[in-house]
Amino acid sequence: MVIRPHRQEDMPVLLEIWLQASLHAYDELPAALWWPHQEAMRDRFLAGSEIWVLEQAGQIKGFAALQADELLALYVHPEFQGHGLGAALLYQLKRCHPYLWLRVCTRNTDIIAFYRYQGFSCCGEQKDPVTGLPEWLMECPPRLTELLSASA
């Protein structure tokens, strides 16, 4: 497994992973809702985002995008979910960003459980501007032991 900064030529694959993972996670929403947002997602990811790609056997299987300490995206293609790839990506992000926060749809109970397991907790609620669905703001503050080992 390789986790590396993205390259420009990765973007079509990243957008496909985003689309497939979104369709999988929000299967109650019409697929047509997501297609028009692909270009907006590309622009959002490229607008000053730090993007990490997870490759396995030469195939991109997931990615994460951040702006400052906000985790904008953490997506693993549905075919490869449940094998620790998302956790591996998140581990890499936490090494570079001791404090992270994100937004997650409250209906996506599996991903909320994943983030809670990874040390995130709810710190607010709002509505997603695209879907209109309620979402939580979650944060993962640095752990004292991580801070101490980073300063040593």
* Residue 122 buriedness (CB in 10 A; 0-12 / 13-18 / 19+): middle
pLDDT band at 16 (very low <50, low <70, confident <90, very high): confident
Query: What is the pTM assigned to this prediction?
Result: 0.79
Q: Is the pLDDT of residue 43 over 80?
A: no
Domain ranges of the chain: 2-151
Q: CATH assignment of 2-151?
A: 3.40.630.30
Q: Give per-residue pLDDT as tens, 96-131.
A: 888 999 999 898 888 899 999 999 999 999 998 877
DSSP classification of residue 27: T
